[in-house]
Amino acid sequence: MPFSEFQLLRPRGLSEAIAVLDSADKSVRATRVLAGGTDLLPSMRQKLFEPEYVLDLRLVHELKGVRETEEGIEIGALTTLREIEHSQILREFYPVLTEAARTVASPVIRNMGTIGGNICLDTRCLWYNQSLAWRKSCGFCIKKDGDLCHVAPGGSKCWAAFSGDTPPALLCLNAEIEIASSSGTRRITLRDFYTGIGDNYRKLQPNELLTRIILPRNTAGYSGAYRKLRIRGSIDYPLAGIAVACQRSNGCVKDLRIGITAVNPAPMLVQGTDSMIRNGSSPEQVAEAAADLAARTAKPLTTSALTPEYRREMIRVFTRRAVSALLAADN
């Protein structure tokens, strides 16, 4: 399906990008930000977005690269997933992130796709990520052009699932993000970026850009693992995913963090892991309890081709396996 007509804007620096976004924002039809384009462009072909302007960030070189700072590590929003996957410093100090990045799509897509695009990724649903003709034949839905939800009929909320691989890893690492606009920059925890509502899933104004991701020093050195369920092993979005990061000292687990994705409208950090590790449980008991907590946090619905029951069960299985493997390796 061809694209609807749009005007391509190519700023050559961050201040120009922000100024362009600020003025284009006042137009009748919206502007869409393009980073690697690996999610936006297929969605534009499906007429999920028909912007008047597309703001291409690829010449904004300030937003590229991984740097060490006093606070920890800073990653530019335009850094490709391939660069993250191969970054020596990230692999050494934040392995859960490189593992998660390595599972995104395929090598070709990771060469183009960026971490900023992965964080801002649109939520997904079987009834939404379809061609215009397909969606029209079903009477559309709340997320785009309609007023009913096929997944939870009778309700007024959209439950499309957030399906990015790196955000659960970033949540485990206590990542913060920087957002810039013509009024200045603001910094928030990644956890506060998502709303948990499928059709309005992120707290980003039309005139704002995600510029940097900050990984703090206090989670550097945590061991990590990422597991995902997908239909095509070689190239696919997660239908359930878990990230685990763990800090050990003198053989004891000091901190265990679990992030889940693709089973709720937002990536989520599993709550309650503190009490689990404080009561002196064995590694097997910790893995079992963590798996239970993660499965209870997951609330998948029929937004994908696999059943909610199976996806939830796989959250349990992956969590148990990943926690067991990390605790065994750290011994």
Ligand X SMILES: Cc1cc2nc3c(=O)[nH]c(=O)nc-3n(C[C@H](O)[C@H](O)[C@H](O)COP(=O)(O)OP(=O)(O)OC[C@H]3O[C@@H](n4cnc5c(N)ncnc54)[C@H](O)[C@@H]3O)c2cc1C
Binds 141: which of ligand X, ligand SF4, none (CB < 5-8 Å by kind)? ligand SF4
Rounded Cα distance between 236 and 244, Å, is 21
Residue 24, interface with ligand SF4 (CB under 6 A)?
Answer: no
Residue 227, interface with ligand SF4 (CB under 6 A)?
Answer: no
327 is written with which tokens? Answer: 């605790």
Residue 303, interface with ligand SF4 (CB under 6 A)?
Answer: yes
Quick one: which H or E segment has residue 284? helix 283-297
Distance, C-alpha 172 to centroid of its chain: 12
Nearer to ligand X, 109 or 220 (CB): 109
Name 248's bridge partners: 253
Residue 46, interface with ligand SF4 (CB under 6 A)?
Answer: no
Residue 125, interface with ligand SF4 (CB under 6 A)?
Answer: yes
Lay out the site mask for ligand X across 12-51 (x = CB under 6 A, - = otherwise): --------------------xxxxxxxxx-x---------
Rounded Cα distance between 165 and 300, Å, is 16
The amino acid at 196: G
CA distances from 139 to 29, 160, 284 (A): 23, 17, 49
Binds 20: which of ligand SF4, ligand X, none (CB < 5-8 Å by kind)? none
Nearest residue to 37 (alpha-carbon basis) of 72, 12, 10, 69: 10
Determine the size of the site formed for ligand SF4 (CB under 6 A). 14
Residue from 11, 72, 95, 116 binding ligand X (CB under 6 A) = 116
User: Minimum distance between the CB of residue 173 and ligand X, rounded to whole angstroms?
Assistant: 16
Residue 164, interface with ligand X (CB under 6 A)?
Answer: yes
User: Which range touches ligand SF4 (CB under 6 A), out of 80-88, 105-113, 147-155, 287-295?
Assistant: 147-155
CA distance from start to end of the chain:
54
In contact, 78 and 63? CB cutoff 8 Å: yes
- Which residues here bind ligand SF4, judged by CB under 6 A? 125, 127-128, 141-143, 149-151, 158-160, 198, 303
